[in-house]
Structure 1
Amino acid sequence: MTSDLDDIRELAEDFATELRRKNRSQRTINGYLKHIEYFRAYLAANELPTTGPAITREHIGQYIESLLTRTNLRTGEPLSPEYARGQYRSLQQFFKYLETEEIIEVNPFDRMTQPDAPERQVPVPPLDALKRLLAECAGTNFEDRRDTAIIRLFLDTGCRRGEIAPLSVDALDFAENTATVLGKGRRPRTVPFGDKTRTALRRYLRVRAQHPKAVNDEPALWLGKFGPMTDHGIGQMVERRCQAAGIEHIHPHQFRHFFAHNWLDNGGQEQDLMMLAGWRSRQMLAKYGKSVAVDRAKAAHRRARLGDQI
């Protein structure tokens, strides 16, 4: 027998409480809750049960299949397999929690496998495009100084957008030329930056000091017209700057791929890259900058000149 307490919308709030206890970031929690709500909406629309104990493997399979055949309402293009895989993983963790709490007797994800998705290579932005992007922000007004500092910090540290966006002024250390960011799993790490980034940040801080929010002791580093910028706002800024520069759109995460590729291409050690990027798995080394791995291999071969030594 089930009750309203077993409705997955109610159970999702309990799941969120557990995630907060585990010190998961609010962004991560919101992602789980969004996917669970999408699933519940699908169940309700198809007159399927929405209570945890009544949901079966077949219900989940039907939902994943619907995602793989659905189109984006804005573009008309099919949703990517990665989108379905992301929702699969979120629901899998949710039902694992329900099983642990003994809310369900049988986990419908047992012996299920996530949908296949071809690995997509993220293109590394060409150097010329990045130079044009920075040139587009070369003015001296508040937004130019801010946007230059944001883009240079991305390129110089390889940080994620979710790490750059919530930075506070106090996170910057100009004695060491470092920034302290909060990475995945809410793990802090310190990332260094170079002289050009330092100059861009110092120039921004000088104009930031005149911002109305800064006068009111706002701790957030990045300020917009109405207050602190969000990670979404930073993404919009990059898109707007790319359009103005007349270059192909660059997603902020591509800066991270550029950083990883550049590091390896210049002979940087893989272990150091893992520490700087906040990775625990060496699998990430293969993923980032993979689209230009062949170019790095060719350049290494030319440097080695193996055939010429015989």
Structure 2
Amino acid sequence: MGMIDLDDLRELKNDFATELRRKNRSKQTIDGYLVRIDYFIDYLIENQLPTTVPEVTRDHLGSFIEHLLTRPNKRTGEPLAAEYVRGHYRSLQQFFKYLVAEEIIPTNPFDKMTLPDAPEKLVTVPADDQIRALLTQCEGTDFESLRDTAIIRLFADTGGRAGEVEGIDLDHLDFEEDSVLVTGKGRRPRSMPFGDKTRTALRKYLRARAKHPKAKNDEPSLWLGRQGPMTAHGIRQMLERRAAAAGIDHIHPHLFRHWFAHNWLANGGQEQDLMMLAGWRSRQMLARYGKSVADERAKAAHRRARLGDKL
């Protein structure tokens, strides 16, 4: 067995993962870092470049980012999305920041590098009629209709993330407060309140769930499918299936989050309250969510203010 090179990227990425676990980062976050570091390592090997950290230079990192920016998407043939490339940049930047902090390298090759520009891409907020059409497709008293109605209403009523809604257990529901406890990014717990229609949908689903074969043996997961607990992927597939039946081109869980943020602000909700409900720490998220209809909200606010009519 050969000697292990402790300065090799392949060894150090595992040390970085250990540090992330120590900081209580989620498995999904850690896996995302490791996948991007692996892409960089593969690039170095394919181009016969060094994988020993002290030998990795700013030019190596820059050429890798340039490679990503010019590489075609295998599915569409179009260049990779700039935001996707920015994700690689940020992950490697954090990795090398860790290497400097651990004094494995004296200086950070990312110093004086800049994040690749990404053209602004506005997310289209679903129309109210589209969400109503989804709910219409779920009308019925069978198990899947009751379950899907509850899921869609919970997404729209709370603005919860896909992973948050997927991870709900039975004992996370509080019908005295009409709220549900979820675990957000950074493993931060958050209570999401819901309204009367969502409460009714959840209660109907729970009665059907109690008779489901997979509900035996004290299964804690709230959402059940044919094979057992539903995953976030299963929830996305359900939404795609319901959207196709409703004649809606495309809808996924995060679009409900944009719909929730837009409607909260459009109905006069406070920004600080929205940040608490959505689990945001940065005010930048307020500008991002529902931005495609921000003009609509501004015009509505102008009509309510009627400033010129006061003269």
Q: Which amino acid aligns with 2:221?
A: A
Looking at structure 2, the residues matched to 143 and 183 of structure 1 have their Cα atoms a distance apart, in angstroms, of 26
Separation in 2, partners of 1:57, 1:250 = 40
Q: What is the one-letter code of the residue matched to 2:47?
A: N
- Partner SS state of residue 223, structure 1: coil
Note the 1:119-138 alignment, pairs <5 A: 119-138=120-139
2:222 counterpart SS class: coil
The answer for the alignment partner of 1:104 in structure 2 is 105
> 2:298 matched to which residue of 1?
297
2:210 aligns to what? 209
User: Normalising by structure 1, what TM-score?
Assistant: 0.96
Q: Is 1:64 aligned to residue 65 of structure 2?
A: yes
Q: CA deviation at 1:5?
A: 2.6
1:191 deviates by 0.9
My pick for the range that moved more, 23-32 or 140-149, is 140-149
Flag as ranges the 4+ runs of structure 1 deviating above 4 A. Answer: none
Q: Deviations over 1:55-97 (max 9, x none)?
A: 1111111111111111111122221100000110011111111
CA distance in 2, matches of 1:48, 1:256: 43
Q: What SS does the aligned partner of 1:4 have?
A: coil
- Match runs of 1:278-289 below 5 Å: 278-289=279-290
Alignment of 1:130-279 (within 5 A): 130-279=131-280
Shift of 1:139: 2.2
Q: How far apart in 2 are the matches of 1:45 and 1:221? A: 46
Secondary structure in 2 aligned to 1:190? strand
| TM-score computed with the length of structure 2 as normaliser | 0.96
Tell me the alpha carbon deviations over residues 231-270 of structure 1, each in whole angstroms, 9 at most, x when there is no partner. 2222222112111111120121111010011001111111
For 1:6, the equivalent position in structure 2 comes to: 7
Q: Which amino acid aligns with 2:203?
A: R
The CA deviation string for residues 177-212 of structure 1, in whole angstroms up to 9 with x for no partner, is: 000111111111111000111111111111212222
Between the aligned partners of 2:235 and 2:54, the Cα distance in structure 1 is: 41
Which AA in structure 1 matches 2:276?
Answer: M
1:5 alignment partner, SS class: coil
1:10: how far off? Answer: 2.0
- The CA deviation at 1:112 is 0.8
Q: Alignment RMSD, CA only? A: 1.4
Structure 2: which amino acid aligns with 1:127? D
Secondary structure of the residue aligned to 2:6 is helix
AA aligned opposite 1:251? H
Query: Which region of structure 1 is more displaced relative to structure 2, 296-305 or 223-232?
Result: 223-232
CA drift of 1:3 comes to 4.8
CA–CA separation in structure 2 for the residues paired with 1:66 and 1:276? 40
Distance 2:232 2:53 in 1: 33
Q: Does 1:90 align with 2:53?
A: no
Q: Which moved more, 1:62-71 or 1:101-110?
A: 101-110
Which residue type is aligned with residue 97 of structure 2?
Answer: K
Q: Any gaps of 5 or more consecutive residues in structure 1?
A: none
Residue deviations 1:256-296, cap 9 Å, x none? 01001100111111111111011112121111111111111
